[in-house]
Amino acid sequence: MWRFVLKRVLTIIPIMLGTTFIVFSIMSFAPGDAVGMLAADASQEEKAALRQELGLDDPLLIQYARYIKNLLLGDMGISYKSGAPVTEELAARIPYTALLAVVASIITIILAIPLGVIAAIRQNTFFDTSSMVFCLLGISIPPFWLGLLLILSFGVKLKMLPVSGSGSWAHLIMPAITQSVAGLATIARVTRSSMLEVIRQDYIRTARAKGIAYNQVIRRHALKNSLLPTITVAGLQVGALLSGAVVTETVFSWPGIGRFLVSSISWRDTPCVLGCVVIFVLTFSIINLIVDILYGFVDPRIKAIYKKA
């Protein structure tokens, strides 16, 4: 098992090199650069001086090699826009993104799995139909619109919650709901269809024939076996949440990494963009690893394969 984990951890290195190189190339070949943004009115000589100061006059491969070398030493570079270290910029924003992602994930998982399970075991009832209509709406509603609707209802009309910023727990409620709705709907639908498949299996019928209570059959036999696709989807959702949510962060002025990434791209602030990419790669790799390990816990056959490997 540990060898499997180690192997997976080592695969992060080529993934990291590949993604940073691709993003670095895209940023370099994109029209415009940070110098144009910092000193739009400057003369050619002044711009050349600034380009030299920022190290942008070196060949691209040298710039990339320098970035990777510094990254290995824990230095993510200096933001062209603010002049502050990228680690400092990220450190100020990652806790907000992580908090929003964790709270949204908890809401998503706590509500989505029971919703999907109950909808499956009560298939074709009013609860099933209404929950699936809710899921369809959840997937279809754009977060931007949902966010504004929540602001108008709970912020402006009812005056129950603050409409923007991040000063208290109350500030977290609406962004977390906005963030969780689409994921909740997706996971609930996946759980429902997976559960429907499992409860029609022979071993479930056998368990029922043996006289085991229906709830116990669902809890002990069906749920665990139906969770594999749910774990996969939930892993991707949590990864996406941890990589920042541009729309939700913009609507609620939540100071997370998503808004920072967009602003860094428009400023052509390559060190900041690469810093965000490094964080995203690490996040997704770790989440995928956790998902793979969880597979082993849910399905003993997969655990056996890991052991063999």
Partner 1 sequence: MKKLMGVLCLLVAFAASGLFVPAPASAAGVKDTIIFAYETEPANLSTVENNAIAAYYPCFMIYSGLFKNTTDGIEKDLCTDYHIEKNAQGLETIWVFKIREGVKFSDGSDLTAKDVVATLKYAQTRPTVKSLTNWYTDVEAVDDYTVKIMTAKVFSTAPEALSNKACYILPSELIASGHDFNNKPVGSGPFKLSKWAKGDSITFVSNENYYHKDKMPKIKEVVWKIIAEGTSRSIALETGEVDFVINVDALDIPRLQENEDVVVSVTDGSMFTYLALNNAKGPFKDENLRKAISCAVNRESIIAVALENFGAPIYSSIPIIMDGWTMENATTFDLDKAREYLKTWGGDPSSLKFAIIVSTDVRRRAAEVIQSNLLEIGINCTIEQVDSATLTQVYNSGDFMSYISAYTSNDLLTWLNGVFRNTGTSSSQFRQAGLDMNGMIDSIAQTTDPTARKALVTEVNKTINAQQPFVPIYQSKVLIAYNANLEGVEIDPMGMFRLENFYWRK
* Binding interface with partner 1 (CB under 8 A): 30-34, 36-44, 46-47, 49-50, 53, 81-84, 88-89, 92-93, 95-96, 98-99, 102-103, 106, 148, 151-152, 155-156, 159, 162-169, 171-172, 250-253, 255-256, 259-260, 263, 266-268
User: Which CB, 49 or 68, lies closer to partner 1?
Assistant: 49
Q: How far is the CB of 78 from partner 1 (least distance, A)?
A: 11
Token pair 């498949």: residue: 197
In the chain, what are the helix, strand and coil shares in percent, each to the nearest 5?
Answer: 80, 0, 20
CB of 116 to partner 1, least distance (A): 17
Give the C-alpha distances (Å, rounded to integers) separating 71 from 19, 25, 261: 14, 17, 18
CB of 207 to partner 1, least distance (A): 21
Closest separation between CB of residue 72 and partner 1, Å? 25
Question: Which of 151, 181 has the CB closer to partner 1?
Answer: 151
Cβ 191 vs Cβ 120: under 8 Å: yes
* Exposure letters 87-112 (e unless 16+ CB within 10 A, then b): eebbeebbebbebbbebbbebbbebb
Contact between 207 and 164 under an 8 Å Cβ cutoff? The reply is no
Using the minimum distance from each CB to partner 1, give the nearer residue, 12 or 102.
102
Smallest distance from the beta carbon of 106 to partner 1, in angstroms? Answer: 7
Q: Of 86 and 277, which has the nearer Cβ to partner 1?
A: 86
Q: Give me the phi and psi of 124, to 5 degrees please.
A: 65, 15
Select 135 or 261, whichever has its Cβ closest to partner 1.
Answer: 261
